[in-house]
Chains A and B, each alone.
Chain A
């Protein structure tokens, strides 16, 4: 039994069950064998892993389902390796870890080490400071991608401007077809884009005081053209103005 008490302590000292998975445990076990990963015996690691599960249960570490999955996967691999192989006659052949598991472990380890380097960088940059001033160079070219939330709040502010129309029915039942359709708005928007290359958000409306119906149609039209990737929506970093530009 290679599982040393020291290993268990190391395991418990980590940030908790969620941050460390079965792959980390497997790696620690392999580490404790002091042999190359390509020479690790499948049956040994299977029994050690199951042993680890038992021990840690008694240590009341919260075990996630991932550990059970890994254990059963190991047992499955072991059972597969135990099946007689017609081309292989040797009696006491101890199968090594299968390639896909080794690859997975190596990949896991690689990113753990990359994470370690990021940790060093994180520690270093945490102590590196920049000046704190409120001088902003007029960076006219800083346009940020707009999130859906920004768009909705932009539409909200337009809707609020238009509170005088509060009493107006959103969908007039008697009129049948709405005056503003999303298709029309899309065509209008694309026409403007063709002409100017970029349009400001407020240009979408034909009048100074758009009706609710028009605002809603314009909103849906913007979402639609962004979805079909005709254009993208950007927002100025400093003034928060929203622009629609051709892709």
Chain B
């Protein structure tokens, strides 16, 4: 038991020292333990910080583990650290990003079809922000480029993997009166999306999922 506490503390120290998310394999290797044991200890650590409800939490982000400030202080911290605060994205950009995130890999034409407007400029801007990248080419005439989200996308939104994205609400399931912004927030954030088909993702994304 003694040694277990020691290793758990060591993992905590490693995470405390690092600014980037650390992968499970790297943590296990550094601490000299098996991955399964490391995962168990890390899960415990995550719970410890959750129960403490303090200023920061341990979270799984972009396939690694990282300390990050508690979201309940998000607003005030954004206010205090005005110049460090990240710019938020525009609505049009976010709508485009949402389609790419849920529909990836997707071509520009398919994107335009859903948005009803040309998305070329929007995709270029998302690519320059490194949130979106070309992931391949569709095997149809013209071989159009397919786009998907990047690791930075996960980092940006504090997600561990793509399946952690909030489940899209089927509009048909809503009554007409429910088409209000409030109704959108209600669904459970942690719920996994059963319709999210990961098998169509390119290999590199498969690993992330």
Which residues on A are within 8 Å of B, measured CB to CB?
14-16, 18-24, 31, 34-37, 64, 66, 70, 104, 106-142, 145
Contact = CB atoms under 8 A, between A and B. Distances in A.
Interface of B: 14, 16-20, 22-23, 25-27, 29-30, 66-71, 73-79, 81, 84-99, 101-102, 113-118, 121-122, 156-158, 166, 168-172, 176, 179, 181, 184-185, 204
The 4 closest A-B pairs by CB, nearest first: A19-B92, A127-B78, A21-B117, A23-B116
Given A114-B168, A122-B94, A130 B67 contact: yes
B74 A127 contact: yes
Given A31-B179, A113-B168, A126 B68 contact: no
B91 A108 contact: no
Contacts of A127: 69, 71, 73-79, 85
A141 B88 CA distance: 32
Contact of B95 (A35, A64, A111, A135): A111
Contacts, number: 189
Given A108-B115, A119-B88, A124-B74, 9 more contacts: A19-B92, A21-B115, A118-B101, A120-B185, A122-B157, A127-B75, A137-B17, A139-B23, A145-B204
Nearest to A103: B172
A121 B157 contact: yes
Main DSSP-derived SS at the B contact region: helix
Contact of B81 (A110, A122, A129, A133): A129
B176 A34 contact: yes
A21 B117 CA distance: 5
Nearest to B80: A127
Contacts of B184: 113, 116-117
A124 B169 CA distance: 20
A114 B102 contact: yes
A119 B179 contact: no
7 contacts: A21-B115, A106-B170, A111-B114, A115-B95, A115-B98, A137-B17, A139-B22
